[in-house]
Structure 1
């Protein structure tokens, strides 16, 4: 038989109402010593809160849906971890759906999460996806976009300052003496990568524009071809860490010395960047700050007027001394 609140109340020597206040966090305060007695009784009996029943009583499920393009991508993995932590601190349980960058899968994931009546929805949209705001509004569920939102979307957006990140890393590369810096973009001009590309174009140091898919293999094939033709740039700013990993792997295979022949830097600053060979210079994205702001907006706060700033981490790929592994981020 499942343990009930009545069982916990009997063991703790208090009322069912008091047990409910402790388990559900209100609506009335409970004296600390009584709260501890209830929690101890619940632990002894193995009581588990029934979230469905609690949701019916309070009108709140305590669950927030998070939709990500790819949880295996280190960038979105880091963003997802930060969101889960911020939601947990707000007392919410996170349910994550991934879409594989597929717009139809994103629409399906949004619909299925909304059907469960969550307390909120956080979406990092794939390029070309529909705005989730109309469906969320119809379901009465608040929604926040992180990282990227579709053109013309109504959802509040919380994202890092991508233009500032590019300006920071370009200035750093110019400090190494590079006056012409190539940029490796994605296959299309959309989302944050397009913002990064526009900031690069505005720089007097803008050199050649290169394009490939966002997968490591795509960037590796491009780099191998450029190396074979002797067309590698002297300095390269890469839009994403995933592409940069492919660039470094192909350069190594072709015997291209980094940074001596080609300096490389990127814009994501994921945990993997500290462990490439050579270690990757990158602007570390402010994942924690983005997550905290997104949760604050989701819970009724205003959309931020200023975007969080990333932090440049100089490493070997640009010509700086590599920091020690003691300073590398934890997974």
Structure 2
């Protein structure tokens, strides 16, 4: 309720105009980890209002994001397919998400509108029809296969997707790539937790990348060796993290990991002894970097090997009254164009 979006575009949210309070708020229902569920408290979107405006609010939001960034992560992606809403009065009274209901999200209507508004091409949907006249049937089929391989092939085949053995481009690929000049930029789905086939279908229809988290790979009793977070189950169309903003640092996670997790990771690496906590951030980072995933994102705390406990006074920067508490940009002599914070 305290965001600029809710103030300036209140009609786009489930908000009572008379009292200026939400009708429903966001959250997730009770599960194994929380008997009360999670109550986030944001007013939920009025999707009918968004649909009436052809999702222009979402279009502008994404356009603004891509003016600043090369990639955009769609948080709580499952909410685009269906979401849990809790009556505001119940949430205020009980501080719980137990009483609520699943509501159908906008799904394909939202993404179809945004892709059209932004002029984005979706290779999964449009490539085949776009080249039915320009290419012979056999050439078209081969070109489509190579294009989709960019995101959906495992292993070394994906790395050589645009080149043949001599390093030259495939003859049909320049035409294909030229047509997709305005293809959608990198969208990443935060698709962690309880994910249904409908959510996967929505994500894959628009070639939105999936997330993999190294810390989640070692203790999935239900999926076992089929756990999608295990490095050998990664696919080209995913983004790998050692941990996310919701996780402890790798150092702290390892110190609190179960014996099962430690044994699994050690066996996976072929080690006789478990890695020490002081080096686990390097181990997980290396596993992530060796993945076939399209992109790896390493939190800075894992790059630095930090624990979750920080001496706040010692780590403060830019405190003018303390000589030791400042930051500066330095340059490495052999890389004069790169600045590093110290």
Is TM > 0.5 for Structure 1 vs Structure 2? no
Give the number of the structure with larger relative contact order, counting CA–CA contacts within 8 Å between residues 6 or more apart: 1
TM-score by length of 2: 0.23
